[in-house]
């Protein structure tokens, strides 16, 4: 839900006519904060700052776009606060939606060493020998998900 709120803020920030400061600057600042949170760089107080910005924008915007732009953020904070907390406190996306927070790993107990995931990996982040459990080099992984789609044994997990 955090990424969804960021998606809607991206749209409203781009669509702002720029006539009023609340909408022009406020939506951009909110989008920056949400982007930072979805990248795992959120900090304590960001949710409260978002709520303050939302209330200020709703009160000061001149048009319907600005007055309703904060609604997705306020609604997701209200009903999905735990997701915001997981992003900020644990650098974890419970929905596995935020690419920067995905971590792919191979369960050695399930990996049969078929090498299919290694062959499909576009950046060569997976290594191992035939019939031995493979590993993913997190520094090389681009989080494309090819390994998950390829593995027939369910050995690749997203964390």
Q: Look at residue 159 in the predicted model and tell me its pLDDT.
A: 78
Query: What's the total number of domains in the chain?
Result: 2
Q: Look at residue 52 in the predicted model and tell me its pLDDT.
A: 96
Residues 86 and 107 in one domain: no
Q: How confident is the model at residue 27 (pLDDT cuts 50, 70, 90)?
A: very high
Q: Locate the DSSP E strands across the chain.
A: 104-106, 126-127, 135-136, 156-158
Residues 25 and 57 in one domain: yes
Distance separating alpha carbons of residues 74 and 72, to the nearest angstrom: 6
Residues 49 and 112 in one domain: no
Residues 57 and 116 in one domain: no
pLDDT digits over 36-50, tens only? Answer: 999 999 999 999 999
Q: How confident is the model at residue 139 (pLDDT cuts 50, 70, 90)?
A: very high
pLDDT digits over 105-130, tens only? Answer: 999 999 999 999 999 999 999 999 99
């Amino acid at each position: 839900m955090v990424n969804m709120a960021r998606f809607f803020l991206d749209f409203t920030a781009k669509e702002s006519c720029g006539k009023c400061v609340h909408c022009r600057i406020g939506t951009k600042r909110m989008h920056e904060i949400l982007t930072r949170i979805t990248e795992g760089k959120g900090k304590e107080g960001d949710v409260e700052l978002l709520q303050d910005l939302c209330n200020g924008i709703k009160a000061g915007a001149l048009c319907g776009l600005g007055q309703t732009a904060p609604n997705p953020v306020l609604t997701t904070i209200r009903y999905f606060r735990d997701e915001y907390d997981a992003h900020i406190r644990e650098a974890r996306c419970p929905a596995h939606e935020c690419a920067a927070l995905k971590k792919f790993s191979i369960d050695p107990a399930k990996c049969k060493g078929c090498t299919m995931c290694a062959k499909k990996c576009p950046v060569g982040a997976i290594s191992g020998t035939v019939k031995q459990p493979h590993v993913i080099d997190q520094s090389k992984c681009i989080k494309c998900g090819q390994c998950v789609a390829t593995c027939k044994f369910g050995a690749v997990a997203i964390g």
